[in-house]
């Protein structure tokens, strides 16, 4: 839907890249930005990596604001086009709001350490050595694969389905599909298993087999935890994020378009 908000207090968050820093100087001449703690929305200037970093800071910090990205990175899948001299406040107030719900990961290491992270794109389990990983997969407390022999496995949100998931030959999920993609990475056994599409109410658990011989790490977006024993995953519905996109440039439009790239 098109935004009906009229944001007045907007913060500017800028990546450390030279291009972003130069563009921020130009933007500050066009409008007055406020501190993040006083803002109603945030302009995020950089690339997809910086947008993910910013969203994670909001999740970890407890105050989540609508985020409007301006791309000065490479792909810019989560961003809008940067246009020099454009009225940014006007663009924000015409933008379409897109809700993105992250995954919540509860992980336990082989030493019994418990850690929890959010993942906006995906959580991936990856072998740490030349030995293939052996991973048990449960969905809603029922073992679905007793032993997946692989380089790894991942669980992706719709927002992340065009990232690592797509590179691993996983399905592209429409943003409003309420689905998750469970995708193997270089599976050896069962050889013909290509993954699964799950309702986003599903609770998924990965348990590492033979961890001493076949150690596995878990990566939640940009955060890695090594020597994993088990990982439990579910959607964090209480921490929904809001991304703002220009009309005709929304994330769900791009997810559809990505399926026709040849």
Kindly tell me if the per-residue pLDDT of 225 is higher than 60: yes
141 to 144, 165, 201, 204: CA distances (angstroms): 9, 24, 13, 8
User: Which residues of the chain are in CATH 2.60.200.30 domains?
Assistant: 103-237
Average pLDDT of the segment spanning 205-232:
96
Q: Give this prediction's pTM.
A: 0.86
Tell whether residue 140 is among the known ligand binding residues.
no
pLDDT of residue 10: 95
b/e sequence 28-52, b meaning 16+ C-beta within 10 Å: eeeeebeebeebebbbbbbbbbbbb
pLDDT of residue 252: 67
pLDDT of residue 1: 41
Task: Mention the CATH class of domain 10-101+240-258.
Answer: alpha beta
Give residue 254's pLDDT band: very low, low, confident or very high (50, 70, 90).
Answer: low
Among 48, 146, 200, 238, which one carries the catalytic annotation? 48
Distance from C-alpha of 226 to C-alpha of 95, rounded to nearest angstrom: 40
Asked whether the beta carbons of 172 and 259 are under 8 A apart, the reply is yes
Tell whether residue 253 is among the known ligand binding residues.
no
pLDDT of residue 249: 65
b/e sequence 212-244, b meaning 16+ C-beta within 10 Å: eebbbbbbbbeeebebbbbbbbbbbeebebbbb
Give residue 5's pLDDT band: very low, low, confident or very high (50, 70, 90).
Answer: low
Kindly tell me if the per-residue pLDDT of 251 is higher than 50: yes
Determine whether 221 is an active site residue. Answer: no
Which percentage of the chain shows pLDDT scores above 70? Answer: 93
Tell whether residue 162 is among the known ligand binding residues.
yes
Q: How many CA atoms lie within 13 A of 91 on its CB side?
A: 24
Which CATH superfamily hosts domain 103-237?
Probable inorganic polyphosphate/atp-NAD kinase; domain 2 (2.60.200.30)
pLDDT of residue 69: 95
Kindly tell me if the per-residue pLDDT of 253 is higher than 80: no
Tell whether residue 225 is among the known ligand binding residues.
no
Report the mean per-residue pLDDT for the chain: 91
pLDDT tens-digit series, residues 100-135: 999 999 999 999 999 999 999 999 999 999 999 999
pLDDT tens-digit series, residues 120-177: 999 999 999 999 999 999 999 999 999 999 999 999 999 999 899 999 999 999 888 8
Kindly tell me if the per-residue pLDDT of 3 is higher than 50: no
Kindly tell me if the per-residue pLDDT of 4 is higher than 80: no
Helix (H, G, I), strand (E, B) or coil at 216: strand
DSSP 188-210: -BSTT---EEEETT--EEEEEES
Tell whether residue 6 is among the known ligand binding residues.
no
b/e sequence 135-148, b meaning 16+ C-beta within 10 Å: bbbbbeeeebbeeb
Tell whether residue 167 is among the known ligand binding residues.
yes
Kindly tell me if the per-residue pLDDT of 75 is higher than 70: yes
User: Which residues of the chain are in CATH 3.40.50.10330 domains?
Assistant: 10-101+240-258
- Of the candidate ranges 44-58, 77-91, 141-155, 159-173, the one whose mean pLDDT is the lowest: 77-91
């Amino acid at each position: 839907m098109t935004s009906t908000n009229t944001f007045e207090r907007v913060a500017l968050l800028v990546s450390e890249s030279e291009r972003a820093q130069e563009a921020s100087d130009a933007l500050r001449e066009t409008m007055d930005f406020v501190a993040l703690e006083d803002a109603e929305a945030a302009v995020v200037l950089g690339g997809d990596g910086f947008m993910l970093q910013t969203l994670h800071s909001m999740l970890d910090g407890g105050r989540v604001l609508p985020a409007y990205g301006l791309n000065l990175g490479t792909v810019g899948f989560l961003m809008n086009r940067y246009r020099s001299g454009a009225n940014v406040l006007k663009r924000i107030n015409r933008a379409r709001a897109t809700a993105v719900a992250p995954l919540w990961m509860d992980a336990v290491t082989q030493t019994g350490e418990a850690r929890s992270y959010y993942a906006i794109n995906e959580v991936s389990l990856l072998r740490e050595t030349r030995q293939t990983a052996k991973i048990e997969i449960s969905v809603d407390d029922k073992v679905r694969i007793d032993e997946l022999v692989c380089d790894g496995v991942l669980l992706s949100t719709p927002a992340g389905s065009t990232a690592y998931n797509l590179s691993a030959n996983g399905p592209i999920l429409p943003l409003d599909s309420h689905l998750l993609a469970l995708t193997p990475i270089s599976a050896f056994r069962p050889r013909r298993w290509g993954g699964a599409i799950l309702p986003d109410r599903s609770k998924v658990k990965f348990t590492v087999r033979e961890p001493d011989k076949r150690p596995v790490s878990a990566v939640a977006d940009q955060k890695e935890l090594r020597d994993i024993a088990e990982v439990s995953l579910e959607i964090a519905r209480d921490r929904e994020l809001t991304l703002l996109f220009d009309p005709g440039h929304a994330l769900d439009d791009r997810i559809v378009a990505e399926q026709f790239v040849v």
